[in-house]
Amino acid sequence: MKFSEMKGGYMYLIYISSIILLPLMILLFRKKLIVGVWSISVFNSPSIISKKTKGNSMLPSLQASDVSDVYAEFVADPFIINHNSVFYMFFEILDKSTDKGIIGLATSRDGKDWSYERTVLKETYHLSYPYVFKYKDNFYMIPETCETNKVLLYKAKRFPYEWEIVSEMIQGNYVDASIFYYKNKWWIMAGKSGKLHLFYSDNLYTNWIEHVKSPLIENNYNITRPGGRVIVEKNNIFRYTQDGEPNYGSAVRVFKITHLSEREYEEEELSVVLNGSKMKADWKKDGMHSIDQYKISDNNWLVAVDGHNLVNKNYFLWKVDRILAKFLTFIKEKRSNKRYIEKNRTKTSIT
């Protein structure tokens, strides 16, 4: 075969390929993807949030751009605890390199100015909703771990940076398990497929029993998925729930539990307390879905909420961004492992 014939053959293949691939490339570049960009806001309130808040003055306290150690898509699900006069806020980070949630940490001295610290919990499965609490001088966390088909209890080995699993509390793919202590018993409310489940136990670690009336609510995605810490204040119990209509993470509602025992459960809805602003380009334009409240004093509560803005992105560029995040994460981990090996080698040679 002559070179001119080979050249002609290659040109023909390139021509045919361009005819086939060009329309596909055009379609790929035109394809759009709607992405929810979540952020967190923290503010003070003179009382617990039991009615509609004036959200127009809320500003983001933490965004994905504040996360420095992983490539974050968004931050959400804030939970706050205080230790030695420092506020610690745990929250979900969606890691672009894995498309899974991990748990991050930010701190503040005054509850107003927040500094991102680092990621504190990462597993092979998705993590979110890091419900942190203190019991008998120990710090615990119940993050959402529904991919494991278990509700897992973590305990701080070295607060706030190191955590370990100490109990498999409940079997099942429950979401956003929310624990509270009332009348000498532990209680957990959790969502599952449009249902609200209730469990109780005398022991934090074991012997969890499903309530005789559980599931308390069925076939309702508007009021069954927990949306933040259950507040027990002056013998009143308030539960917060996500409203999934008209879109995921649309609003947060509050219910007052009026009767709770091993045999009975009654509640009444009080109000929608958080929702989207519908204001163009606002960080919470399209909804809010989580709230946590930390009591500083009788007339001062520190409140953390999240909200999202649905952004129309180019699918091709979004995919490239994901691939780039995976590659850069791989390089970073490889360099980190190399430094660790060299450090240990130096220690060994000195010894």
- For the entire predicted model, the pTM comes to 0.89
Residue with tokens 């701190």: 107
Give me the CATH topology for the region 33-315.
Tachylectin-2; Chain A (2.115.10)
SS3 49: coil
Sorted by where each begins, the domain ranges of the chain are 1-30, 33-315
Instruction: Using alpha carbons, select from 127, 47, 50, 45 the residue that is nearest to residue 90.
Output: 127
pLDDT in tens, the chain (351 residues): 443 444 455 566 666 666 666 666 666 666 788 899 999 999 999 999 998 876 556 899 999 999 999 999 999 999 999 999 999 999 999 999 999 999 999 999 999 999 999 999 999 999 999 999 999 999 999 999 999 999 999 999 999 999 999 999 999 999 999 999 999 999 999 999 999 999 999 999 999 999 999 999 999 999 999 999 999 999 999 999 999 888 899 999 999 999 999 999 999 999 999 999 999 889 999 999 999 999 999 999 999 999 999 999 888 888 889 999 998 888 877 776 666 556 555 544 444
How is the beta sheet containing 300-314 ordered, strand by strand? Answer: 32-45, 300-314, 287-297
- CA-CA distances (angstroms) from residue 162 to 86, 111, 137, 173? 17, 23, 16, 25
Q: What 8-state DSSP symbol labels residue 230?
A: P
Asked whether 194 and 187 are in contact (CB, 8 A), the reply is no
Secondary structure E strands in the chain: 32-45, 72-83, 86-95, 100-108, 115-121, 128-135, 138-144, 150-158, 162-171, 175-182, 185-192, 195-201, 209-210, 225-226, 231-233, 236-243, 251-260, 265-275, 287-297, 300-314
Q: What share of the chain is helix, strand, coil (3-state, %, to 5)?
A: 20, 50, 30
Spatial separation of the C-alpha atoms in residues 263 and 222, rounded to whole Å: 25
